[in-house]
Amino acid sequence: MDTPRYRGRNSRPEARPCSRPPGRLDQSPNIRFLNGRGEVVESVSGYVATDEFRKTIASAVQKVGEVKYTGDYQKIADASAKLAGALQQKQYPEALTAIGDIEKANHQGPDLTRARKARSEIEDLATKGFAEAEALVKTDPQKAAELFGKVESDFKGLDIAKKAGAQSRKLGKNS
């Protein structure tokens, strides 16, 4: 009985017929240059000489014109940098302001995704602080009022901060 033998991990598979001639690639490069509306202004098919490729690029740039960033792009970039700095220093009111600026531009992309994730994390922190303060209301109202005040000041701009402020003032009147 013939059984296939293991030839080792570096063994080569059996030769298979190939549909393309040896040494030829399946595809050649195809590069298209688009304008702002997504229309093709230039294209390069296959392999071309460097000088010809550079001329094609220069022609495409001439047809498209100078690329200018919109004001929204600059606002988003500035707000993203502000958000990163504020989160690093745990300055949540500044972070929430930056998140608001990014969301106002409403440009789908990684900046908006990061901003929404940061908002969610900040809201979670505020909720945890609020829950800690609520747990102390009956046992230590003074400490609870301080925690509510801290939540209000640290997370200004969130609904939970408004609730914390109301609770802080309520406990302040009762003591």
Provide the residue-wise pLDDT of the chain in tens; the chain has 175 residues. 455 555 555 555 555 555 555 555 556 778 888 887 778 888 888 888 889 989 998 998 888 887 666 677 888 888 999 999 999 999 999 999 999 998 888 777 888 889 999 999 999 999 999 999 899 888 888 898 889 999 998 888 888 989 988 888 888 766 5
- Compute the distance between CA of residue 151 and CA of residue 167 in angstroms, rounded to an integer: 11
* Torsions phi, psi for 116 (to 5 deg): -65, -40
Report how far Cα 166 is from the mean position of its chain's Cα atoms. Answer: 35
- Compute the distance between CA of residue 158 and CA of residue 151 in angstroms, rounded to an integer: 10
Give all strands (DSSP E) within 46-124, no chain letters: none
pTM > 0.85: yes or no: no
